Structure 1
Amino acid sequence: MKIALRPIKLEDLPQYRKLIAPTQAFHRLNGPYLGMPTAADQNKKIMEFGFELTKPNPSFNFELIFEEEDGRILGEVSYYWKDQRTNWLEVGIVLFNQTDWGRGIGTVALPLWIDRQLTERPALVRIGLTTWSGNAGMMALAERIGLKLEACYRKARILDGKYFDSLSYGILREEWNQLRTQPASNASRDHTQRRR
């Protein structure tokens, strides 16, 4: 499987609406302690996306992850500024279908996204990723691609009456560059790509 990233298009919206339906399992991992999305929330989101996509130069803080061979949409990668004054950007990733989890898609897609952010923003100093202790897959992905656990806020999230930790991962530009030029890291990435 060959993984790539691309901007969302107007013609993607009907399929995208189905992929982000409130019944999708990923919502139980993607910040569920902030509240679960409703169909009304998502209809509004699709309408806003549709309006933005009619503009000459639409602007979004995310791109779609897709399979190059058949064009299937697998998920999305995103960013937001944690602190633009200090050049601190946070990234995220979601894989929509549970059948795609554990296939190494994130191991390919998230580094592509981080590379893009660092290339397009030469002043960027650090990349962060925030998750919670209920999302074992995201924790494993962050560590697998070389992000360091920088903070653990114990019992900072609550879901279904249970407390969970909030976890902050991060990496500096120079650390990422060094990681990406190490032969062992390249070999690992090549193996990961071939396995799919």
Structure 2
Amino acid sequence: MLRGEKVLLRARRDEDVPVLHADLYDDVEMRSKADGRPWRPIPPGSPASPFTPSAPSDDAAVFSVVRLADDALAGEGLLWGIDPHNRVAHVGLSLRPAMRGGGLGTDAVQVLCRYGFQVRGLHRLGLETLAGNAAMIAVAERVGFRREGTLRQNAWVDGEFLDEAVFGLLAAEWRG
């Protein structure tokens, strides 16, 4: 388990799945903004749920985010696309709606960076988000990510193409 000031990142548990599925998957509009893959109906409890615990893999590290103040499940955080040869990965974070706005996102991304840089020995972390996602952009900038560009009309969301903002952070730049 990885501890920050406000959050704990731990392995996914079976009891996390219905909560994460209801709050982060069943909201079609929000899920479409958070994931580049098209939304499709998946019933709660299905092994196809994106929140179902799976065996550890070399290319992804998936965590449940828990608020330390009360042990409440706050969302999910992950490093994905881990490339051990080039020592790079991407950061992902989704917080349940009731958990947003209290600094948990910044702390969770900081802990993910610590995991990527100190535990995994990565050199670079990337973070991509919709250009209109002001909350995630603020989190990235607070943690020290630099905006590297915009992918114009790169995401198909709810019937339109939207821009994505691309951020990067090098191990030497990280303020851990």
Task: State the distance in 2 between where 1:157 and 1:14 align.
Answer: 27
1:49 aligns with 2:52: yes
Structure with the higher strand share, 1 or 2: 2
Whether the aligned pair in 1 keeps the contact of 2:67 and 2:104 (CA below 8 Å) is no
How many percent of aligned residue pairs carry the same amino acid?
25
Deviation at 1:130, TM superposition (A): 1.1
What residue ranges of structure 1 are gaps of 5+ in the alignment?
53-57, 181-196
What residue ranges of structure 2 are gaps of 5+ in the alignment?
none
Task: State the distance in 1 between where 2:30 and 2:92 align.
Answer: 13
1:119 aligns with 2:122: no
Runs of 4+ in 1 over 6 A off after TM superposition: none
Describe how 1:16-165 pairs up with structure 2 within 5 A.
16-23=20-27, 26-31=30-35, 34-40=37-43, 43-46=46-49, 49=52, 52=54, 58-59=55-56, 61-81=61-81, 83-96=83-96, 98-122=97-121, 124-165=122-163
Larger Cα Rg: Structure 1 or Structure 2?
A: 1
Post-superposition Cα deviations, 1:53-79, rounded to whole Å, max 9, x if no partner, equal xxxxx4262111112233210111111
Task: State the distance in 1 between where 2:14 and 2:100 align.
Answer: 26
Task: State the distance in 2 between where 1:143 and 1:47 align.
Answer: 28
Task: State the distance in 1 between where 2:169 and 2:17 align.
Answer: 33
- 47 and 170 in structure 1: CA distance in 2 versus 1, 3 angstrom threshold: closer
Structure with the higher helix share, 1 or 2: 1
The one-letter amino acid of 2:56's match is: S
TM-score norm. by structure 2 comes to: 0.80
